[in-house]
Structure 1
Amino acid sequence: MRYQNTYAQLDTRLYHEQLPNPLDNPRAGHFNNQVADQLGWTKAADLMARWVEILGGQYVPAEFQPLSMAYAGHQFGQWAGQLGDGRGLLMTQVLDKNNQLQDLHLKGAGLTPYSRMGDGRAVLRSTIREYLCGHALTQLGIASSNALGFVVSDTKVRRERLEAGAALMRVADSHIRLGHVEWIASFAPDLLAEFTDYMIDTYYPECRDSEKPVLAFLQAVVERTARMIADWQLIGFAHGVMNTDNLSITGSTLDFGPFGFMERFNPAWINNHSDHSGRYAYQNQPAIGHWNLNVWLPHFMRLTQAGVTRETLADCLAPYEATFMQHYQQGLCRKLGLPHQRESLSLAFEWLTLLEDNLLDYTNSFRALLGLIAPNEHLYEQQLLATMTAELNPEAQQVWQVWSTRYLAQIQQVSITQAIEEMQASNPIYILRNSMAQRVIVAAEQGQFEELNRVFDLLAKPYTLQDSAIELDTLPPAPHAPQMPISCSS
């Protein structure tokens, strides 16, 4: 691999150098060959042969420079002060085969100076959920961290019960969070200019061509964040804990805790059982993204020589709403196979209302529309359509008939072939449903990883019908079934 440990060259107040605390008897859980190939890991015989030892914390290659990062953050809207990597270590940074910098971050590596009241460990169930979610989002085409692999061990970890300890090697284009700047502003303000230069030069070098690079950088972060959250909304993904310390400066999804993929469509859906106020409900994510950036930007007021003022910061934040709306609306129209125009958006929002009023499955219902416009070519989607319409009461049936007639009339005005291609590429068949993840976890806790292998392969091609799929993979819960509780330790 091509190592480029740039973060370790920064001021030592920003991190703490340390080795991982080894797990007892680590064993292979799963290895992501696609990520390994992207990193160049597969070309290093020593790394391939000892990957379980590396992820288990028993062996640290000489080229690695493990460190835990310091950062701060606002959690559930309240200033939380110093936080930091409480159970993870940035093990190394490498250039991948596309010359993009990638962080290799070991989660579950043991206690650090930032562990606070924690034990520095991760459990198998949360490790599996993060491993599968990063994989799922990546294959869905959404900017996200992914993972090289994970191990399970004989180390016992206490959560709601005693569980098997595990560790995951997360791979992300950056682990710098909005909370890094919040930490610097509170505890080391003299580092702000240097750290801002590092963020620009490392992650946004194109901003150096701007007349005011810092302002260009800030606006780029705003726009990338807006697009990421629009992608979440389009796929029905809810992060569950959008604290400022959980948002990356690169607009890539980071830190999977109480996440979920929406099944029955309910915009007010809360997937984090600790979110009693619904702050991080699915429908609130766009506004929370704006709130987080609005908290983050004023810290750069100290950089007056870079042209940062209250007015220029407002200009940096201003594109957020327009960027989000444009990206979301364009994506929504693509999901219907329609051009981005007023008539299409009217149909789209009426369609979402129909889904909400009848608690229809979000993923299956969008995919079912292929069975409406081309039933002979899409037998699976035709079955989805029959299942969907069977759930409608007589009044809703009438609404559906009126809407589908108008929709078909709109489809006739565009290329059917192009519409089908867009719909197939925008509406997945498979998402990581909580029930799917739970079946993997139950099997893995008994030492059986065949189901994990099957689901991993299924999610690798989410837009294509798979022979390995079973009925449960696409079966939503009953309309008013109790929600599976998902917490930050899940």
Structure 2
Amino acid sequence: MQFNARYPSLNPKLYHEQMPVPLKGAKAGHFNEALADELQWSAEDKASWVEICSGQKTFPEFHPLAMVYAGHQFGQWAGQLGDGRGLLIAQILDQNGQTIDLHLKGAGSTPYSRMGDGRAVLHSVIREYLAGHALNALDVPSSNSVGFTTSEQGVQREKLELGAMMLRTSDCHIRLGHFEWINQYQPSLLQEFTQKCIEWHYPECLEAEQPILAFATKVIQKTAVMIAKWQLVGFAHGVMNTDNLNITGSTLDFGPYGFMERFRPNWINNHSDYNGRYTYQNQPSMAHWNLWNWLNNLIPLAKPEEKEKFKQDLAQCLEHFEPTFLEHYTHGLCAKLGLPSFHKDSFDCGMAFLRILQTEQLDYTSSFLRLQNKEYEAMKDDCLDRRQFEAFLTQYEMIRENQDIGTLDATMFEANPIYILRNHMAQKAIELAERNDFSEVERLFSLLSQPFTRQTDLEKPEDLAPLPSDVPEVMVSCSS
């Protein structure tokens, strides 16, 4: 590995150094060798991946640390938070020269654990491990994982579960909540911290006339693009608190996530979200709210006599969110439908298709595939309101008339995944893993590596559709 220890150069008030506490009887779960190659792991590193991913081996080049931050959770100020069960154990360069964080999840309690035990359990580790892998393969910016380990040690949740650890990777673990903590508890650190964030993650902004405003705009735009990509693949994060969004627009901390199956925009995939704040349909507005809150924490960077003007400038930065989101979402939706994005009626046609999916409770992912494969009559037969589908199809074919159909169809094959990580797929892998059988984790890992390519040798019928309507859906909450 090539180390690039940056975070420890910050003021020590921003973190707490400590060693991980390994679990008893740690053993291999699954290893992402392709990602290890991207991270330039040596043969020796790979040979000792179980020790690294279970907290038994650390590196002299980097002292493990827990970050402190704060946040708004479900819209309410939660005060000081921080890495309560994870440690940043290294920052290294990947094969492209980009600095990547190695974050060990389940590494034991820290000063920020807030009465928690600092541990992770096998079911939540497998869900995050597979989802990060799936999102990256779907071209959605996201954390990923080099590997996870299980153990013989029990961890108490609603029931006694197997303890586990996972080595998560991300281009950044600096959250919007870092700025909230600094403003609340150590305001004198804000200037230097913001400067480092710009230098490390948006160095091009240093050349701007007003680097802080340029930085704010970049964060807003990248977040908007990330949310658009979530919506396009039907991904619901589940817990979009300000401490769970980072400054580079890459998906982070999505424990109670879900991939949309039957199209229900108000679906509450996280059953700890009692009021439905973070439903699929609310994700763009919640991201906007989080960014608005974050921008307020940049106001102290202005000189006193320029504060009011700076507030107005920050508000103008936030105005980039909606057009950026709409541009990427519209372009992506048109690609999924095989419609030209420049046509004035393409977006309305896309909305008509989504209304059909919602009204008829059709599966989101497979419905786009059926449209792609021109199964029009079969789709109509699945609709109670056949006229609604006929009206959509008439408009759809009129827009495609006199267009380059070959090119439009090719974009559909590139935009529509065959496989997503449905909750029942992950649950099956978890149930087997809890009996020390990781074969289903391996199968799903391979299947989700190429989500746009049909893999008849690997797939199962249940990978392609929701569970029958009379089968209870898998319940997911924040408990992990």
TM over 0.5: yes
Conservation of the 8 A alpha-carbon contact between 1:360 and 1:388: no
**1-structure distance, mates of 2:166, 2:102:** 10
**2-structure distance, mates of 1:461, 1:72:** 37
Match runs of 1:471-482 below 5 Å: 471-479=461-469, 482=472
**2-structure distance, mates of 1:271, 1:219:** 30
Post-superposition offset of 1:64: 2.9
User: Normalising to structure 2: TM-score of the pair?
Assistant: 0.97
Post-superposition offset of 1:477: 2.6
Local SS of the residue matching 2:168:
strand
Match runs of 1:34-433 below 5 Å: 34-41=34-41, 44-305=42-303, 309-340=310-341, 341-372=343-374, 382=375, 388-393=379-384, 396-433=385-422
Post-superposition offset of 1:371: 1.6
Local SS of the residue matching 1:342:
coil
**1-structure distance, mates of 2:140, 2:390:** 33
Conservation of the 8 A alpha-carbon contact between 2:337 and 2:372: no
The verdict on how the C-alpha distance between 1:235 and 1:480 changes in structure 2, with shifts beyond 3 A counting, is: farther
Local SS of the residue matching 2:373:
helix
For structure 2, the 5+ residue unaligned runs are: none
**2-structure distance, mates of 1:413, 1:164:** 59
Local SS of the residue matching 1:256:
coil
**2-structure distance, mates of 1:115, 1:245:** 14
Deviations 1:112-154 (A, max 9, x none): 1100121000000000000000000000000000000100011
Aligned residues: 475
Q: Percent identity?
A: 53
Conservation of the 8 A alpha-carbon contact between 1:156 and 1:165: yes
**1-structure distance, mates of 2:91, 2:72:** 27
Deviations 1:411-457 (A, max 9, x none): 23221211111101111110000000001001111111111111100
Conservation of the 8 A alpha-carbon contact between 1:264 and 1:479: no
What is the root-mean-square deviation of aligned Cα atoms in Å? 1.4
**2-structure distance, mates of 1:477, 1:386:** 23
**2-structure distance, mates of 1:335, 1:129:** 26
**Which one of 474, 477, 480 corresponds to residue 484 of structure 1?**
474
Post-superposition offset of 1:342: 2.1
Conservation of the 8 A alpha-carbon contact between 2:87 and 2:107: yes
**2-structure distance, mates of 1:399, 1:132:** 37
Post-superposition offset of 1:305: 4.3
Local SS of the residue matching 1:251:
coil
Conservation of the 8 A alpha-carbon contact between 1:263 and 1:477: no
Post-superposition offset of 1:46: 2.6
**2-structure distance, mates of 1:408, 1:476:** 28
Conservation of the 8 A alpha-carbon contact between 1:32 and 1:147: yes
Local SS of the residue matching 1:2:
coil
Conservation of the 8 A alpha-carbon contact between 2:120 and 2:164: yes
**2-structure distance, mates of 1:488, 1:225:** 23
**1-structure distance, mates of 2:6, 2:248:** 16
**2-structure distance, mates of 1:2, 1:126:** 30
**1-structure distance, mates of 2:188, 2:76:** 24
Local SS of the residue matching 1:165:
strand
Conservation of the 8 A alpha-carbon contact between 1:264 and 1:477: no
Q: Which amino acid aligns with 2:455?
A: Q
Post-superposition offset of 1:370: 1.6
**Which one of 427, 432, 453 corresponds to residue 438 of structure 1?**
427
The verdict on how the C-alpha distance between 1:154 and 1:323 changes in structure 2, with shifts beyond 3 A counting, is: same
**Which one of 446, 454, 475 corresponds to residue 443 of structure 2?**
454
- In the other structure, the counterpart of 1:375 is none
**2-structure distance, mates of 1:209, 1:366:** 43
Deviations 1:152-201 (A, max 9, x none): 01111001110110000000000000000000001110000000000000
Post-superposition offset of 1:479: 4.5
User: Normalising to structure 1: TM-score of the pair?
Assistant: 0.95
Q: Which amino acid aligns with 2:466?
A: P
**2-structure distance, mates of 1:479, 1:411:** 34
Conservation of the 8 A alpha-carbon contact between 2:179 and 2:294: yes
- In the other structure, the counterpart of 1:377 is none
For structure 1, the 5+ residue unaligned runs are: 373-381
The verdict on how the C-alpha distance between 1:420 and 1:158 changes in structure 2, with shifts beyond 3 A counting, is: same
Local SS of the residue matching 2:298:
helix
**2-structure distance, mates of 1:84, 1:48:** 30
Q: Which amino acid aligns with 1:327?
A: H
Conservation of the 8 A alpha-carbon contact between 2:380 and 2:390: no
**2-structure distance, mates of 1:208, 1:234:** 33
